[in-house]
C-alpha cells in the first residue's frame, strides 16, 4: 500500500465525489436488496389472500425501492467516473510536475519513449484504482452489514450464513484467485512489452529494414510477438472467466444453503414460512454486491505497480540545489578551475582538470574530435550535470549555488538535437519569447535563409518533415529570437552547407557583437575572428589561443587543420 500513498493523496482530493459515490452506491445496493426482499414477501403474502390495500402498500414499497435503485445506480456511476477522470488529470499533472524539475537530467536515466509509455499507460491504468479498488469494498461492506443486521431479526443462523458467504466471496476467494492470476498477468505484460518493442523498431527502422530486405523477417518476428501477446491475453481471459464462474457458483451456493437452512428452521418452527421467500431473495441479491471483489486484487496490484513506477521516476535524480538567482540579461563570464566530470555510471572521467576562462562578451570556439568532451563541457555550463570535482564559476557565483532556471533564462541555446513540436513553424518559434510579432519571426527566418517557410507551415512530431539543416536553422532562429546575452551553440550548423553557414553566422555575430558566445564547431574554418579557440582531446583542454597563435604554435590544432585541409583539398 505504501506505493499507493501518492495516488491515494490525489484521489482523496475529490472528497465530495467520493462521498457521493459511496452514498449512492449504498443506496443502489440496499434498494436492490429491499426490492427483491419485498417482492419475495409480497408473493408469499399474496398467497395468504390478504386485503387488497395491504398488497397495494407493498407494491408501492416495491416501486419506491425500484426507483431508488435505478437513480442510485445512475448517480453512483456519474460521480465515481467524474471523480476518476478528474483524478487522472491530477495524476498526470503531479507526474509532470515531478519530472519537470529533473529534466533533462532524467532523460539520461530513461529514454523518453519509456517515459511516455509509462506515464500514459500507468496513468490510464490508475483509472481503475478509484473505480474498482478504492470505494467498492466500502460500499459492499456497508450493504452487507445492513443486510445482515436486518436478517438477524428473523434468524441469527441465517445472518451467520450470509456473513460466511461474504467472507468467502468478498475476500477469501478473490485473494486465492488473485494469487493464481498474478503470474499470468506478468506474462501478459511481458508479451506486451516485446510486442511494443517490435512495433517501434518496425516503424522507426522501416527504411533500413526495407533496404536490407529484412522487412519480411522483422514482419514475421512482429507477427510472432503479436501472436504471443494474444495467446497470453487469451489465457488471462479464460482464467478470469473461471474465477468469475467459481465466484458466481459460491454465491448461488450460499443462497442454496440459505434456502435449505430456511426450510429446516421453518419445519422446526423457528421461522415463519412467510419470510422464507424473502430471505432467499435477499441472499440472492445481496451477493451481487460482492461480484466487484473478484476483480479487485488484480486492479489493486496494477495500481500499485503503476503508482510505484510513476512516483519513483525521479528517485536518485538529484534536485537542483542552487538558490542564487541570476538577475537581468547580461553577457556573463565562466571560469573552470580544475573541473573534472564523470558520468554516474562510468568508470572514467569524461572531463579531466579543465582550466578555462571565458570572459564576459568574448567569443570562444571549442573544437576537437567527436567524443572529446565538447558537449559535456557545454552541459556543465548549462548546469545539466553537476561538476564532479573542481569549481565552475558563472560570473562570480559557483555554478552549484546558481538557480538552474535563472541560468537558463539568460542563454540562447542551440543543441545538437533540438526538439520541434507538432504544430506550425509559428508555434515552434514562439517558444523563444513572449509577444513575438509575426514580423520579427519572418525577419529571423530570412536571416537563417528559411524565407520559403510560411509561419503557418505544418511541423510534424519531432520535426520529422524537416531536413537536418532546416531543423538546425530553425533552432538558430529560435535562439536569435530569444535575444539573451549568452550564446551556447553546440555544432549549430553541422548540417548546413558552408555558404548558408557563413550567411547565418554573419547575422548571428552581428546580433551577438557584445555578447558572450561559446561555439562548439565541427569545422575549423571561419575561426579567425574568435577571441579564443579551445582545443579538446579526450576530455582535456590541450590548447587555448587565437587562431593565429595556434597556427603559429604548430601544435594539435595546426595538425587537425592540416588534416582537414587535406581532406577537403
Partner 1 sequence: MKHLSRVAYAQRKLIWLLVLASLLIGATIIGQAYFFVAIVEDVFLNDQSFQGVIPLMIGLFLVLAGRAFFTWLNGRTGVSLASKAKRHFRGKIIDKFAKNPVQASLQGQSGRKVSVLMDSVDEIDGYYTSYIPQMIQTAIIPVMILVVVFTHHLYSGIIMVITAPFIPFFMAIVGIMTQKKSEEQMEKLSAFSGRFLDTLQGLTTLKLFGRSKQQKEVIEETSLGFRDATMNVLKVAFVSSLMLEFISMLSIGIIALEIAIRLVIYESIPYFSAFFILVLAPEFYLTLKDFGSAFHTGRGSTGAANQLIDELEKEEQVIEWGTRELQATHPPQISLTDLSYQYNEASSFRLSSLQARVDSGSNVAIVGRSGSGKTTLLHLISGLMRPESGAVEVNGRPLSDYKEPSWFGELSYISQSPYLFSGTIADNIAIGGKGEHTRDEIEVAAEKAGISDLIASLEHGYDTPVGEAGRGLSGGEKQRLALARAFLKRPSVILFDEPTTGLDLRTEQILQQSIKELSKTATVITVAHRLHTIREADQILFLEKGKLVATGRHEELLESVHEYRNMVTIQQGGDTA
Q: Binders of partner 1 among 108-147, rule CB under 8 A?
A: 112-113, 115-116, 119-120
Near partner 1 in 357-396, by CB under 8 A: 369-372, 382
- Give min distance, CB of 161 to partner 1, in A: 15
Q: Work out whether 103 is an interface residue with partner 1 (CB under 8 A).
A: yes
Near partner 1 in 447-506, by CB under 8 A: 452, 460-462, 464-465, 467-470, 473, 478, 482, 491, 494-500, 502
Q: Tell me which of 98, 305, 308, 522 binds partner 1, using CB under 8 A.
A: 522
- Give min distance, CB of 191 to partner 1, in A: 12
Sign of CA dihedral 513, 514, 520, 523: positive
Near partner 1 in 241-270, by CB under 8 A: 241-242, 244-246, 248-249, 252-253, 256, 259-260, 262-264, 266-267
- Give min distance, CB of 133 to partner 1, in A: 19
Residue 161 three-state SS: helix
C-alpha–C-alpha distance, residues 322 and 560, integer Å? 39
304 versus 427: smaller Cβ distance to partner 1: 427
Near partner 1 in 16-35, by CB under 8 A: none
160 versus 266: smaller Cβ distance to partner 1: 266
60 versus 145: smaller Cβ distance to partner 1: 60
156 versus 498: smaller Cβ distance to partner 1: 498
- Give min distance, CB of 375 to partner 1, in A: 11
| Of the candidates 341, 425, 433, 432, the residue with the CA atom closest to the CA atom of residue 382 | 341
81 versus 308: smaller Cβ distance to partner 1: 81
Residue 51 three-state SS: coil
- Give min distance, CB of 389 to partner 1, in A: 25
Cβ atoms of 389 and 383 closer than 8 Å? no
Cβ atoms of 535 and 364 closer than 8 Å? no
Q: Tell me which of 16, 74, 145, 355 binds partner 1, using CB under 8 A.
A: 74
What length does the chain have?
Answer: 569
What are the strands of the beta sheet with 411-414, ordered from one edge? Answer: 411-414, 486-490, 516-520, 363-367, 532-537, 540-545
Q: Tell me which of 15, 318, 338, 419 binds partner 1, using CB under 8 A.
A: 419
Cβ atoms of 226 and 202 closer than 8 Å? no
What's the number of CA atoms in the CB half-sphere (13 Å) around residue 312? 10
C-alpha–C-alpha distance, residues 366 and 542, integer Å? 11
Q: Which stretch binds partner 1 (CB under 8 A): 211-219, 291-299, 301-309, 348-356?
A: 211-219
C-alpha–C-alpha distance, residues 356 and 15, integer Å? 58
Place of cell 587565437: 546
Near partner 1 in 429-448, by CB under 8 A: 431-432
- Give min distance, CB of 488 to partner 1, in A: 9
104 versus 344: smaller Cβ distance to partner 1: 104
# residues contacting partner 1 (CB under 8 A): 154
Omega of the bond prior to 104 within 30 degrees of 0, cis? yes
Distance of CA 352 to the CA centre of its chain: 36
Q: Three cell numbers at 179?
A: 494469487
- Give min distance, CB of 43 to partner 1, in A: 5
What's the number of CA atoms in the CB half-sphere (13 Å) around residue 561? 18
C-alpha–C-alpha distance, residues 193 and 205, integer Å? 18
Cβ atoms of 348 and 324 closer than 8 Å? no
C-alpha–C-alpha distance, residues 541 and 271, integer Å? 97
Q: Tell me which of 418, 508, 517, 534 binds partner 1, using CB under 8 A.
A: 418
Q: For 250-263, give the DSSP string.
A: HHHHHHHHHHHHHH
Q: Work out whether 64 is an interface residue with partner 1 (CB under 8 A).
A: no
Q: Which stretch binds partner 1 (CB under 8 A): 9-17, 85-93, 165-173, 338-346?
A: 85-93
Near partner 1 in 301-360, by CB under 8 A: none
389 versus 467: smaller Cβ distance to partner 1: 467
Q: Work out whether 171 is an interface residue with partner 1 (CB under 8 A).
A: no
Strand partners, 357: 335
How open is the CA angle 474-479-483, to the nearest 5 degrees?
140
C-alpha–C-alpha distance, residues 282 and 65, integer Å? 13
- Give min distance, CB of 24 to partner 1, in A: 12
Task: Give the per-residue SS3 of 385-412.
Answer: CCCCEEEEEECCEEHHHECHHHHHHCEE
Number of helical H runs and strand E runs in the chain: 21, 12
- Give min distance, CB of 426 to partner 1, in A: 15
Secondary structure element (H or E) that encloses residue 547, with its range: helix 547-553
The pairing of strands 532-537 and 540-545 is antiparallel
Q: Which stretch binds partner 1 (CB under 8 A): 237-245, 293-301, 303-311, 326-334?
A: 237-245
Near partner 1 in 537-566, by CB under 8 A: 547, 560, 563-565
- Give min distance, CB of 229 to partner 1, in A: 9
Q: Work out whether 68 is an interface residue with partner 1 (CB under 8 A).
A: no
2 versus 425: smaller Cβ distance to partner 1: 425
Q: Which stretch binds partner 1 (CB under 8 A): 36-44, 135-143, 328-336, 344-352?
A: 36-44
Q: Tell me which of 67, 176, 179, 343 binds partner 1, using CB under 8 A.
A: 67
117 versus 337: smaller Cβ distance to partner 1: 117
Q: Tell me which of 77, 109, 305, 352 binds partner 1, using CB under 8 A.
A: 77
Place of cell 560570473: 395
Near partner 1 in 183-202, by CB under 8 A: 192, 195-197, 199-202
Amino acid at each position: 500500500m505504501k506505493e499507493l500513498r501518492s495516488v491515494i493523496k490525489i484521489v482523496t482530493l475529490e472528497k465530495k465525489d467520493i462521498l457521493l459515490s459511496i452514498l449512492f452506491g449504498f443506496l443502489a445496493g440496499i434498494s436492490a436488496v429491499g426490492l427483491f426482499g419485498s417482492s419475495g414477501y409480497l408473493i408469499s403474502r399474496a398467497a395468504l389472500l390478504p386485503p387488497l390495500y395491504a398488497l397495494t402498500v407493498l407494491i408501492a414499497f416495491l416501486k419506491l425501492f425500484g426507483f431508488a435503485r435505478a437513480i442510485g445506480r445512475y448517480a453512483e456511476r456519474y460521480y465515481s467516473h467524474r471523480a476518476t477522470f478528474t483524478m487522472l488529470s491530477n495524476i498526470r499533472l503531479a507526474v509532470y510536475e515531478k519530472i519537470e524539475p529533473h529534466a533533462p537530467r532524467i532523460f539520461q536515466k530513461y529514454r523518453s519513449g519509456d517515459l511516455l509509455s509509462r506515464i500514459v499507460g500507468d496513468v490510464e491504468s490508475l483509472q481503475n484504482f478509484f473505480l474498482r479498488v478504492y470505494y467498492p469494498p466500502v460500499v459492499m461492506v456497508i450493504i452487507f452489514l445492513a443486510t445482515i443486521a436486518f436478517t438477524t431479526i428473523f434468524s441469527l443462523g441465517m445472518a451467520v450464513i450470509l456473513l460466511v458467504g461474504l467472507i468467502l466471496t468478498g475476500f477469501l476467494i478473490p485473494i486465492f484467485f488473485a494469487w493464481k492470476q498474478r503470474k499470468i498477468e506478468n506474462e501478459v505484460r511481458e508479451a506486451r512489452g516485446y510486442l511494443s518493442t517490435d512495433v517501434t523498431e518496425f516503424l522507426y527502422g522501416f527504411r533500413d529494414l526495407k533496404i536490407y530486405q529484412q522487412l519480411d523477417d522483422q514482419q514475421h518476428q512482429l507477427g510472432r510477438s503479436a501472436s504471443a501477446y494474444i495467446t497470453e491475453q487469451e489465457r488471462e481471459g479464460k482464467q478470469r472467466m473461471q474465477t468469475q464462474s467459481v465466484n458466481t457458483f459460491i454465491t448461488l451456493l450460499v443462497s442454496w444453503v440459505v434456502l435449505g437452512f430456511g426450510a429446516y428452521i421453518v419445519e422446526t418452527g423457528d421461522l415463519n414460512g412467510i419470510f422464507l421467500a424473502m430471505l432467499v431473495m435477499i441472499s440472492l441479491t445481496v451477493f451481487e454486491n460482492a461480484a466487484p471483489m473478484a476483480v479487485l486484487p488484480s486492479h489493486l496490484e496494477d495500481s500499485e505497480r503503476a503508482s510505484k513506477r510513476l512516483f519513483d521516476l525521479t528517485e536518485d535524480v538529484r534536485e537542483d540545489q542552487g538558490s542564487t538567482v541570476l538577475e537581468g540579461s547580461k553577457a556573463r563570464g565562466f571560469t573552470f578551475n580544475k573541473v573534472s566530470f564523470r558520468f554516474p555510471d562510468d568508470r572514467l572521467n569524461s572531463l579531466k582538470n579543465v582550466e578555462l576562462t571565458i570572459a564576459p562578451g568574448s567569443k570562444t570556439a571549442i573544437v576537437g574530435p567527436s567524443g572529446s568532451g565538447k558537449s559535456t563541457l557545454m552541459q556543465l555550463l548549462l548546469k545539466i550535470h553537476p561538476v564532479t570535482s573542481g569549481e565552475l564559476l558563472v560570473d562570480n557565483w559557483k555554478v552549484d549555488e546558481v538557480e538552474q532556471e535563472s541560468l537558463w533564462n539568460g542563454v540562447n541555446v542551440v543543441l545538437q538535437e533540438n526538439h520541434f513540436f507538432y504544430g506550425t513553424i509559428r508555434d515552434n518559434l514562439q517558444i523563444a519569447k513572449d509577444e513575438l510579432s509575426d514580423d520579427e519571426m519572418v525577419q529571423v527566418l530570412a536571416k537563417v535563409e528559411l524565407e520559403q517557410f510560411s509561419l503557418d507551415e505544418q511541423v510534424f512530431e519531432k520535426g520529422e518533415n524537416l531536413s537536418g539543416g532546416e531543423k538546425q536553422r530553425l533552432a538558430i532562429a529560435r535562439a536569435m529570437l530569444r535575444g539573451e546575452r549568452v550564446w551556447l551553440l553546440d555544432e549549430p550548423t553541422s548540417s548546413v552547407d558552408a555558404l548558408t553557414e557563413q550567411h547565418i553566422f554573419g547575422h548571428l555575430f552581428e546580433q551577438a557583437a557584445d555578447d558572450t558566445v561559446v561555439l562548439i564547431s565541427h569545422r575549423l574554418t571561419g575561426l579567425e575572428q574568435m577571441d579564443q579557440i579551445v582545443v579538446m582531446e579526450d576530455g582535456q583542454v590541450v590548447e587555448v589561443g587565437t587562431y593565429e597563435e595556434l597556427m603559429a604554435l604548430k601544435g594539435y590544432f595546426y595538425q587537425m587543420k592540416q588534416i582537414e585541409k587535406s581532406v577537403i583539398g
